[in-house]
Structure 1
Amino acid sequence: MITSNSVMPSIMTRLDKYQAVYQFKFKRLASTNSFLKDIAGFTNHPVTCVADCQTKGYGQQNRNWASQENDIAMSLMLPMPHIDNSIRLPDGLSQRVALAIAEALAEQSHQNIQLKWPNDIFINNAKVGGILIELERAANGQWLIIIGLGVNLQPPLQHPDASYKRGWFIPNTSRNQLIGSIEAHLIKTLFTSAKITSAPLNVNAWQARDLFTQGETIYVVSTQNKPQIAYYQGINLQGEAMVYYAHQPNKLVRLNSGTVSLRTYETNEDGTN
C-alpha cells in the first residue's frame, strides 16, 4: 500500500542485456514486497520495486525488518511458468538468489561476503542483510515469485530479533549502482526466455561463502522445539542444509528452509546472544 507521503513511482521499461524490466521507485513505502503483491499480474516481464525508506518491512515468519533511510529495501517479481495446484519454490532457488546477491555485493566492495543458510547475508560474522522469497497468485491466476531484499548500508537500528550481531555493508560505489548490480545479477541468474530458469545450485560457490564450516557445532532452531545441538555438513544440490544431531550422531538429517534456521553455537540455548 502506498503511504500518503510517498512520491508516485517513476515507471519505465528498460531493455538491458537480459530482459525488459519494469521499475518502480519510491521515496517512502510501507513494504516493497507488499507493493508488488498489489500490482501482481500486469506483465510477464520482471518488475522491481525500490524504496529509499521502508516503514513496514518484514522477513521470515513475518518478523519485522527494521531499515533506515537510504539502506537497500528492494523487491523483484518474476512470473512462474504454468503449474498446477502443487505450487512450491524450485529446489535451491533461495540459495541461488543469495549467491547472486552475494556476487553483486562482492563486486561493489572489498568486504568478504558470507552466506548463512538458507539465505542470510553476513560480513565479519555480523548480519547485514536478509532475503524473503514469497509466492503470490495474481487475480488473473498467474503465479509469481517475489524476492525481497534488505541490506544495511549504515549502522543498524536496534532490531527485535537479537539472534545475531548486526553489521552493515560498505560499498565502493553509489547506492543506485549497487541496486542496479543486484538487479542485473538476479535477473541474469534466474530469468531467461520469459521464464524462471532451473539451473543447478552451485554448491561449491556456496561453500566458498558459507558462514559455517564443515563439521562445525551449531544450533538448529525451529518454532516448535528448543534449539538442538548439531554438526553442520554443508548443503546439497536441493539447497537443503545437512546436519548430524548430537543426540543422533550417525543419522544425516536434511533440513528444508521452512521454519528452521541455524545459529552459531556461541548463542544461548534460546537462540539469542
Structure 2
Amino acid sequence: MKSLFRLLPLLRHDAFQSGSDLAQVLGVTRPTVASWAAELAELGVDIHVVKGRGYRLAEPISLLNRDVILANLDASLRSVLQVLDIQTDLDSTNRWVMEQQPAPGRWSICAAEYQYQGRGRRGRVWRSPPASNLMVSIALREDLPNQALYASSLLAGVATARALRSELAVPVSLKWPNDLYIEDAKLGGILCELQGNPQDRPLLAIGIGLNVSRKPEGLDQPAVALAEKVRGPLDRNRLLVAVVNQLHAVLTQAQQDGGLVELLAEWGEYDCLRGRTVRLLLAERSETVIARGVDGAGQLVVEAENGRRFSVNGGEVSVRW
C-alpha cells in the first residue's frame, strides 16, 4: 500500500481536521500530510484545504470493509470462498485474483479502492478516483459448459443488471458484449479472461467496473454514474455484495440443464442494441447493420443492408451506434 492512502480513511466530510492532528495519528510530519493530501487530490479525491482549519472531504466516501462484505455474502457463496481481499491500491484486480489460483469449485474475490492499471477490452486503460467507484474481480474454477465460458461477459452482465435493478431500481441495460448502460450513457464494463484448457475446468476471471459516485472524464462517449440517478448515499459494500451474490446465482444457473438458454434470453431483455442500426468496426473495414439480439452461443446477430443475417463474436468487432 502506498503510504499516502493511510490518510484517506482519516479524512472526514463533516468537519475540518488540522494537519498537526492528522500528522500525530499517522506518525508523520505536517508537510508529509500536506504532500499526501495534494497527491490524493491529483488522483481525483476532492479535498478542501483551508489555512488555519485543515482538511475536509468535499463529500462523504464509502470505504470498502471486508468484514461487512463477508457477513452479507450468501451462505452458498461463503461456502466456496477461498479468498476475499480488499486492497487499498492495486495495479489490476483481475491480475491479483488470477494469481491466487483458486482450487476447483472455489472462488477468489478482490476489490480495490484505487486501481492504477485497470484494463478494458483491447487493453484500454481504465482508472477511477480512489474510493469513488466499484472495481471488483472474481476468479473461479467451475464446471461451466464451454458456451457459458465463452459467453461469460454476457452472464456477468445479467448478474450486474439484476443486482442494480433490484438494489437501486435503476434501468440498467446491456450493450453487447460487455458494457453496462443507463439510457445511452455508459455506466461500466466487464472484462473476462480465461486461463487454461476449456475442457478441464479453466481459470475464469471476471472483472467488473462500475461508476458509482464519479464518472470518467474525457471519454469519446457519454458516461453516467449511479449517483446521478439515485438519491441519497450509495454504499459500495452493499453494491459489491449484491453483484457477487447475483454472479454466483447466475453461474450456478448456467450449470443446470437449460440454464444458459434462460440466461441468454434474460440478457435479451436488457439488450439496448436490439433493433438499432449500428456500425460494426471490423479489423479492416466497417459495416452498417441492424442488431438482432444474440444467438445460443452469445454471439451478436446482425442483419446487413441486403437482409442477410450473420453472427459475430467479441473477438471480431467493436460496436458503435
Aligned counterpart in structure 2 of residue 58 of structure 1, from 119, 135, 139:
119
Query: Are 1:97 and 2:156 an aligned pair?
Result: yes
Aligned residues: 247
Segment of structure 1 superposing worse, 88-97 or 30-39: 88-97
Give the secondary-structure state (helix, strand or coil) at the position aligned to 2:293. Answer: strand
For residues 88-167 of structure 1, the aligned pairs below 5 Å read 90-137=149-196, 143-159=202-218, 162=220, 164-167=221-224
Aligned counterpart in structure 1 of residue 280 of structure 2, from 209, 213, 220:
220
1:17 partnered with 2:75: yes
TM-score, with length taken from structure 2: 0.68
Secondary structure in 2 matching 1:108? helix
Deviation at 1:17, TM superposition (A): 2.8
What is the CA-CA distance between 1:44 and the residue it aligns to? 4.0
Question: Residue in 2 aligned with 1:250?
Answer: 307
Residues 82 and 74 (structure 1 numbering): CA distance in 2 closer, same or farther, change over 3 Å?
A: closer
* Corresponding residue for residue 269 of structure 1: none
Instruction: Work out whether 1:169 is the aligned partner of 2:226.
Output: yes
How many Å apart are 1:82 and its aligned residue?
A: 9.8
Amino acid at match of 2:98: K
Which residue of 2 is the match for residue 33 of structure 1?
A: 94
Deviations 1:17-76 (A, max 9, x none): 323223111111111001112222457411110111111100111111121222100001
CA drift of 1:227 comes to: 2.4
- CA contact 1:117–1:261 (8 Å) conserved in 2: no
Which structure: greater strand fraction? 1
The share of aligned pairs that are identical, in percent, is 23
Shift in Å, 1:137: 4.2
Shift in Å at residue 91 of structure 1?
4.5
Higher mean Cα deviation, 34-43 or 53-62? 34-43
CA distance in structure 2 between the partners assigned to 1:178 and 1:241 by the alignment: 29
Higher RCO (Cα < 8 Å, 6 or more apart): 1
Larger radius of gyration: 2
Q: Give the 3 Å change call, closer, same or farther, for CA 243–178 of structure 1 in structure 2.
A: same
**Structure 2 counterpart of 1:67:** 128
The Cα of 1:4 is off from its aligned counterpart by 4.5
1:85-121 per-residue CA deviation (whole Å, 9 max, x = no partner) reads xx88635332121111110011122321010001210
> Counterpart of 2:35?
none
Structure 2 alignment gaps of length 5 or more: 7-64
Which structure 2 residues correspond to residues 81-92 of structure 1 after superposition, within 5 A?
81=143, 90-92=149-151
**2:144–2:255 contact (8 Å) kept in structure 1:** no
Tell me the amino acid that sits aligned with residue 114 of structure 1. S
Contact 1:30 1:56 in 2 (8 A): yes
Aligned with 1:197 (options 221, 230, 255): 255
> 1:151-181: per-residue Cα shift (whole Å, max 9, x none)?
011232325x52x211112356511011001
User: Do the aligned partners of 2:109 and 2:137 also contact (CA within 8 Å) in 1?
Assistant: yes
**How far has the Cα of 1:262 moved from its partner?**
1.4
2-structure distance, mates of 1:203, 1:40: 28
Alpha-carbon distance in structure 2 between the residues aligned to 1:131 and 1:185: 15
Quick one: distance in 1 between partners of 2:117 and 2:151? 28
